[in-house]
Amino acid sequence: MDFRVDRLATLYLVSPLMPLAGVGRPSIPILMYHSISDEAEPEMHPYFRTSTSPSALAAQLEHLHKSGYQTRSLPQAVAQLKLDSGNSAKSVVITFDDGYSDFREKAFPLLNQFGFGATVFLPTAYIGDGPLKFKGRNCLTWSEVRELQRYGISFGSHTVTHPQLSRLNKNALETEIVDSKNIIEEKTGCGVDSFAYPYAFPQTNREFKGMLRESLSSAGYVNGVCTMVGKAGSRSESLFLERLPVNSCDDLAFFQAKLAGAYDWIGSLQSASKALHAWF
């Protein structure tokens, strides 16, 4: 296992202190996966790896099942959080970014085995009538998307070309979020109201967040996720819900700590760091 300061702090510092904080506001873990493969990614720090092995995913899903978790769609999760009730205690949302074909080959059979649903976010430039590649990996085809949809998998937008949106002007940004929505709706025949922000989310850039919020709402999106780390809570903004990154480096103890909210400190630390960077 790779040495990880964030894991050690989560398991041996934050987790033991959590009972002292008492019962907090209702929150729901939204898990963020990418590729489901045995790719090792040795050149990357464990935090930034985007591959989860099928065996690791199977263990994580089995843990959710044995712990009594039930999957919720993003609209269901947002509705639960708005009620601000305790019914969210054993709810979880499972998401997959980038629309890789290994979702169909590796993840879907496991999800189906445990009766879990999921949302897959598609960068539509890389979803074709035949196989296309994104970051060197094969992506789903539109026929596969429709097949998975028939089995209850939800699909949302991950832009058209997966750019860093904060570097685009407003017209280019709106093209990315509007065209991707329209393409998915055209190809699947179903409405799209969920959006996933690509790359690190610039949560301290208020001007950009305001423009993005307005553009997403105008395009017809009603919920969305980003890369801010943490469990989504009743005070979370429905278009910018926090998620918990998961990959092969997450053993079950670490995975359970994330589900319990012991990893949320990472999000707070990142926000503070970005705020200080912007200030100076």
- The reported pLDDT for the residue numbered 65 is 98
- The reported pLDDT for the residue numbered 233 is 94
Looking at residue 232, the DSSP 8-state letter turns out to be E
Closest CA relative to residue 181, chosen from 118, 123, 97, 106: 123
Neighbours of 268 (CB within 10 A): 12
User: Within 13 A of 199's CA, how many CA atoms are on the CB side?
Assistant: 9
**Number of domains comprising the chain:** 1
In a domain, 145, yes or no: yes
Residues 6+ apart with CB under 8 A from 125: 160, 161, 162
Beta-bridge partner residues of 47: none
In a domain, 49, yes or no: yes
The DSSP-derived string for 89-103 is TTEEEEEEES-BTHI
In a domain, 1, yes or no: no
At 198, which amino acid appears?
P
- The reported pLDDT for the residue numbered 86 is 59
The domain spanning residue 55 has which CATH number?
3.20.20.370
**Domain housing 259:** 27-271
Q: What is the pLDDT of residues 31-71, one digit of tens each?
A: 999 999 999 888 888 999 999 999 999 999 999 999 999 99
State which residues of the chain have pLDDT below 70.
Answer: 1-3, 22-23, 85-88, 274-280
- The reported pLDDT for the residue numbered 4 is 87
Cα distance between residue 222 and residue 157, in whole Å: 12
27-28 and 30-33 strand pairing: unpaired
Cα distance between residue 183 and residue 36, in whole Å: 25
Enumerate long-range contacts of 162-169, CB under 8 Å, 24 or more apart.
162/98, 162/123, 162/125, 162/126, 162/134, 162/198, 163/198, 164/198, 164/199, 165/197, 165/198, 165/199, 165/212, 166/202, 166/205, 166/208
Cα distance between residue 269 and residue 280, in whole Å: 17
In a domain, 279, yes or no: no
In a domain, 184, yes or no: yes
Beta strands in 10-139 (DSSP E): 27-28, 30-33, 35-36, 51-52, 70-71, 91-97, 119-122, 133-134, 137-138
In a domain, 3, yes or no: no
In a domain, 124, yes or no: yes
In a domain, 252, yes or no: yes
The DSSP-derived string for 163-197 is --GGGS-HHHHHHHHHHHHHHHHHHHSS---EEE-
- The reported pLDDT for the residue numbered 271 is 77
